[in-house]
Amino acid sequence: ESIINKLAESQDEEADALHETDEYKQVLQEEFHYDGVHHSLMIIHPAIRWEKDKPRSTTPELQLSEACALVHSLPQWRVADTKIIKVKSHGGFIFMKGQLKELTDLVKSHKNISAVFVNVDILKINQVAMLQGAWQLPVFDRYTLVLHIFREYAHTREAKLQIALAEIPYIRGRLEQINEGQHDHVTGKMHYVVSGGFRFTYIQKRHALVAERERRLRGELEKVRQQREVLRQNRINQQYPTVAVVGYTNCGKTTLIKALTEDESLTPENRLFATLDVTVHQAFLKNMKVLLIDTVGFISDIPKTLMEAFSATLEDALIADVVLHVRDLSHPDYRNQDENVVDILGKLLSEEKLQNMLVVNNKCDLLSDDEKSSDGLNISAVTGSGLDELKTRLEEAIIKSTGRMRKVFRIPVGGDHLSWLYKNSTVLSITDGENGDSYLVETIINTAAYGKFKHLFSTNKRKP
């Protein structure tokens, strides 16, 4: 019986797309250093020398500050030291010979450093091999560090599936670089394709391993997508307008949703990537109920392949009636953050949806009046400042984007008209008619419901 149970458990594990074989665990350890170690990091920021006629809205110091925030997002990880060093580009070997010696001496002078974080989006395999060889320590880039954060805070099965899928382009890219003759940072050897029979090379075996895992992950995520589609269709059937709340990570999206919904069960956290799953929350604005969709935050200098794995979390934003872009106006790098979010949204949203997008400047309670912006609505999700105006603007944007109309109906007292309007529209006010035999009902109603009302009550109702 115990043997049968073990076989059943083994089959369940193999059927589970998230199950990692021993061989795949080895791959993950080699590429991402998933070893459970709480690292003490040296952060090195290679600052590209930008031309004077091409100024950037950020600075190396602000970029380094965000790198530190990424590290601090991981429990018990710490920053031991930081270094900004100017480079021509992030290509080649990044650092000049003299710079590499300087950095190597600096790294080795710290006995408490257990790894190095090079603050670039993604390092090539030859760059990793050179740096790990020089420093004899694990080396992280933004891609691998963000995956550590995602793994730490992923709670739902969907988030875990998306993270596992995000690992695959990184691994596959490494294999392609090895196949092109670049140095292997794992074995320290070059790999050559061996043909003939059933003999597989290191590269072929790993490609097959990755392909099988990707097949299972995409199959599971397709099931999740179908479940999402059912939930989405239910929301459409209920005719609740939807608002996607988007923004740079840690801009205060969840805090704002909590303020608008008055939902005390929401627990916003002051760290990067506090939200990894799409969640939907009902709120009552001034006159209408809406569904607020919380989304995963954006961040700069992250490879496209990493964010593509989370495309499902952005689908709700793409089809929402209104997109609400939340900016952290108190952040010293908010202009660069704003550019990053707008650039991403510009590639995802239609021109009409971009034109209808609302922009709010959050955390204005941390600023003086002189520091507040005239571009967008200034609010504070913590103090409630500006939220009444935001509710009004949201309703106006929803009416504009959904084809809803403000209509006043004159209906008879005692008929089914009023109960129907309550069920199928947003009733704003009711006043008595002149003779006491009718009501004047002010509503917000969509075109389909308006047409249905006229059809149902055409013989009994008076004209609106």
For the annotated binding site for GTP, the residues are 247-254, 273-277, 294-297, 362-365
Collapse the DSSP code of 432 into the 3-class scheme (helix H, G, I; strand E, B; otherwise coil) and give the result. strand
For 216-268, the DSSP string reads HHHHHHHHHHHHHHHHHHHHHHHT--EEEEEEBTTSSHHHHHHHHHT-TT---
Binding-site residues from annotation: 247-254, 273-277, 294-297, 362-365
Please state the residue numbers annotated as binding site for Mg(2+): 254, 275
Q: How many angstroms separate the CA atoms of 241 and 322, rounded?
A: 8
Is 434:462 a contact under the CB 8 Å cutoff? no
Contact 151, 73 (CB under 8 A): no
Nearest to 245 by CA among 397, 426, 82: 397
DSSP tag of 279: E
CA–CA distance, 12 with 281 (Å, rounded to integer): 34
| String of DSSP letters for 174-207 | HHHHHHTTPPPTTTSS------STT---HHHHHH
Return the residue matching tokens 């997008």: 357
Q: Is 369 exposed, middle or buried (0-12, 13-18, 19+ CB in 10 A)?
A: exposed
Instruction: Please give the Cα distance from 194 to 197 (Å, whole number).
Output: 10
Nearest to residue 79, comparing CAs of 50, 112, 54, 106?
112
Q: How many CA atoms lie within 13 A of 69 on its CB side?
A: 16
Can you tell me the distance from the alpha carbon of 160 to that of 420, in angstroms, rounded to the nearest whole number? 44
Residue 403 sits at φ, ψ, to 5 deg, of 75, 15
Strand 438-445 to strand 426-432: parallel, antiparallel, or no bridges (unpaired)? Answer: antiparallel
